[in-house]
């Protein structure tokens, strides 16, 4: 096995000072970690690993032989004592070859600090659980149709990684499950940097695909939060949700073609996201979603689309062809969002037979200088209240009484976000007392008398705002 010294040359691959992997302390944390300097030594250390063991791999470039991947089989860490396999210096170990790690029937395993450069998918299979991928750099081979990471194991965690540099069909991160209809449960995706997906096709280059059509009605309970998406142009859907019961919150999208799309599934919550200076915004299909506290600004396309359906509802026994169709948006709450200076503001769709029904659109701030602020197609039993409209754009077809045209008096802060001035008419003008929205996009309390839009006026500094590269990826805290 040949090994050579590796000089890191990319921003995310810059060698860091040797640090411990974040996470619970190992039961035998006082023991010296095992350090290995060859793939044979690494495999041997894995084979004898016990709960709480920490295996460090010496910096360098390692080529994993074809047909002989690093195998983690029947290894059982615990929540307090995971088995950690880590690069000695985060980013300092490059793994080449067809495959890297193969996981089988294992739990509480952490893989940290590697630069993955394989030509096949890194799979986290459903016979595993509590697998953590943290502080890694993913730039797999740019092969047509290759998905880079597929998570199908319950209670997995994907955090502080950088996915970047794909120009062909294929996704960065997929979350699925066992069989054809199940979803992995409680997957947590946070503090990752997704960037530079330049596939020019119209479909199939998502940074995150949370489910697939046959799994749409399965509840996943995933949380996707505090991730940064930059120059994600491989698909109109930067986050494509095709499952139920998920939360997508506190993410930032910059200069990207893709947005957030609830493509299939029900009862998802989209909260506190920034979509800035890109193309697509938020598109909604399915039932019983909650869309609150989002800030969409400078998008050249449609900021918010309430979708029509080729199907009224997806059903468990429907045909595969029907399942692939769009499910009309029903019983969705869209409240406390700010849509500012976008090419299109709030839109409906007329190309499918089933119109959205029983949707609440309340206490949103719509500001634009082009087009119409509201351009809905057919709707049934929509509730409109408390929305504020402003700018040279026309009101469109918002119903009488559904909104008020008044200057919201916005002030742009150092972070580029427009918030309410002290004398804004949006203050205390909210009309909803439900759903439970306790804080605004800045992380500040909403109180009982809520303000219109994503921002609740406060003299205090925001607790959170749009993310930058320093906030995410392998080098972030």
pLDDT over 50 at 25, yes or no:
no
Tell me how far apart the alpha carbons of residues 182 and 326 are, in angstroms, rounded to a whole number: 20
Q: Who's near 350: CB < 8 A, 6+ residues apart?
A: 308, 377, 378
Best CA proximity match to 206, nearest among 235, 241, 243, 169:
235
Indicate the pLDDT class of residue 19, thresholds 50, 70 and 90: very low
pLDDT over 50 at 27, yes or no:
no
Indicate the pLDDT class of residue 33, thresholds 50, 70 and 90: confident
Which tokens go with 348? Answer: 């409906």
**Stretch 260-271: mean pLDDT, rounded?**
98
Residues 329-368: tens digit of each pLDDT: 999 999 999 999 999 999 999 999 999 999 999 999 999 9
DSSP assignment of 181-198 equals T---SS-EEES-EEEEE-
Which tokens go with 408? Answer: 């919201």
- State residue 17's pLDDT score: 33
- State residue 462's pLDDT score: 96
Indicate the pLDDT class of residue 12, thresholds 50, 70 and 90: very low
Q: What is the pTM of this model?
A: 0.93
Residues 196-223: tens digit of each pLDDT: 999 999 899 999 999 999 999 999 999 9
Answer positive or negative: Cα dihedral of 309, 313, 319, 320: positive
pLDDT over 70 at 310, yes or no:
yes
**Stretch 268-280: mean pLDDT, rounded?**
98
- Higher pLDDT residue, 378 or 8? 378
Tell me how far apart the alpha carbons of residues 405 and 390 are, in angstroms, rounded to a whole number: 6
pLDDT over 70 at 15, yes or no:
no
Q: Could you say which DSSP state residue 400 is in?
A: T
- Checking phi first, is residue 62 left (phi over 0); if not, alpha (psi -120 to 50) or beta? beta
For the chain, the domains span: 142-471
Tell me how far apart the alpha carbons of residues 332 and 211 are, in angstroms, rounded to a whole number: 20
**Stretch 12-32: mean pLDDT, rounded?**
40
Tell me how far apart the alpha carbons of residues 375 and 261 are, in angstroms, rounded to a whole number: 19
Tell me how far apart the alpha carbons of residues 146 and 243 are, in angstroms, rounded to a whole number: 22
| Residue indicated by tokens 């066992």 | 178
Tell me how far apart the alpha carbons of residues 68 and 145 are, in angstroms, rounded to a whole number: 23
Q: Return phi, psi of residue 85, to 5°.
A: -120, 115
Measured CA to CA in angstroms, residue 440 lies from 20, 122, 343, 463, 465 at distances of 34, 37, 25, 10, 11
Instruction: Give the strand pairing for 173-175 and 410-412.
Output: unpaired
- State residue 32's pLDDT score: 62
- Structural element, H or E, at residue 320: helix 320-324
Q: How many CA atoms lie within 13 A of 272 on its CB side?
A: 24
- State residue 31's pLDDT score: 52
Whether 411 contacts 426, CB under 8 Å:
no
pLDDT over 70 at 193, yes or no:
yes
Measured CA to CA in angstroms, residue 37 lies from 21, 96, 171, 217 at distances of 19, 15, 32, 47
- State residue 435's pLDDT score: 72
142-471 topology per CATH: Pectate Lyase C-like (2.160.20)
**Stretch 448-474: mean pLDDT, rounded?**
97
How many CB atoms are closer than 10 A to CB 344? Answer: 21
pLDDT over 60 at 81, yes or no:
yes
Indicate the pLDDT class of residue 434, thresholds 50, 70 and 90: confident
pLDDT over 60 at 6, yes or no:
no
Answer positive or negative: Cα dihedral of 6, 7, 10, 11: positive
Residues 141-191: tens digit of each pLDDT: 999 999 999 999 999 999 999 999 999 999 999 999 999 999 999 999 999
**Stretch 24-49: mean pLDDT, rounded?**
78
- State residue 7's pLDDT score: 25
Tell me how far apart the alpha carbons of residues 99 and 96 are, in angstroms, rounded to a whole number: 8
Whether 434 contacts 337, CB under 8 Å:
no
Residues β-bridged to residue 56: 35, 86
């Amino acid at each position: 096995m040949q090994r050579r010294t590796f000089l890191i040359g990319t921003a995310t691959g810059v060698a860091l000072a040797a640090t411990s992997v974040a996470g619970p302390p190992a039961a035998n944390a006082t023991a010296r970690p095992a350090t290995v300097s060859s793939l044979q030594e690494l495999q041997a250390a894995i084979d004898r690993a016990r709960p709480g063991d920490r295996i460090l791999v010496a910096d360098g470039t390692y080529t994993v032989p074809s047909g002989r991947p690093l195998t983690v089989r029947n290894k059982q860490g615990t929540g307090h004592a995971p088995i950690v396999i880590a690069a000695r210096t985060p980013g300092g170990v490059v793994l080449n070859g067809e495959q890297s790690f193969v996981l089988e029937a294992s739990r509480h395993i952490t893989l940290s600090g590697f630069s993955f450069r394989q030509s096949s998918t890194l799979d986290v299979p459903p016979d595993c659980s509590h697998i953590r991928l943290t502080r890694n750099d993913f730039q797999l081979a740019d092969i047509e149709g290759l998905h880079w990471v597929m998570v199908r194991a319950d209670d997995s965690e994907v955090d502080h990684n950088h996915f970047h540099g794909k120009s062909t069909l294929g996704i960065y991160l997929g979350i699925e499950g066992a069989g054809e209809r199940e979803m992995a449960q409680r997957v947590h995706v946070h503090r990752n940097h997704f960037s530079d997906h330049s596939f020019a096709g119209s479909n199939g280059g998502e940074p995150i695909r949370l489910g697939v059509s046959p799994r749409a009605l399965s509840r996943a309970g995933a949380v996707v939060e505090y991730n940064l998406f930059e120059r994600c142009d491989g698909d109109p859907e930067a986050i494509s949700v095709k499952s139920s019961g998920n939360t997508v919150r506190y993410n930032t999208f910059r200069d990207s073609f893709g947005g957030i799309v609830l493509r299939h599934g029900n009862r998802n919550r989209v909260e506190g996201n920034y979509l800035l200076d890109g193309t697509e915004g938020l598109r909604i299909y399915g039932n019983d979603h909650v869309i609150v506290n989002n800030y969409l600004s400078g998008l050249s396309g449609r900021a918010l689309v309430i979708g029509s359906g080729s199907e009224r509802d997806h059903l468990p026994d429907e045909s595969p062809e029907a399942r692939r169709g769009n499910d009309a948006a029903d019983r969705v709450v869209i409240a406390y969002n700010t849509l500012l200076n976008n090419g299109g503001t709030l839109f409906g769709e007329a190309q499918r037979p089933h119109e959205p029904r029983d949707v609440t659109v309340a206490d949103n701030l719509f500001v634009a200088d082009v087009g119409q602020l509201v351009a809905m197609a057919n709707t049934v039993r929509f509730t409109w209240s408390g929305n504020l409209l402003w700018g040279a754009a026309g009101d469109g077809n918002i119903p009488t009484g559904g909104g008020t045209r008044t200057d919201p008096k916005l002030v742009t802060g150092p972070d580029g976000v427009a918030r309410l001035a002290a004398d804004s008419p949006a203050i205390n003008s909210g009309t909803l007392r439900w759903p439970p929205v306790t804080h605004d996009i800045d992380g500040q309390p909403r109180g009982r008398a809520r303000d219109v839009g994503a921002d609740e006026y406060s003299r205090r500094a925001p607790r959170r705002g749009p993310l930058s590269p320093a906030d995410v990826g392998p080098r972030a805290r």
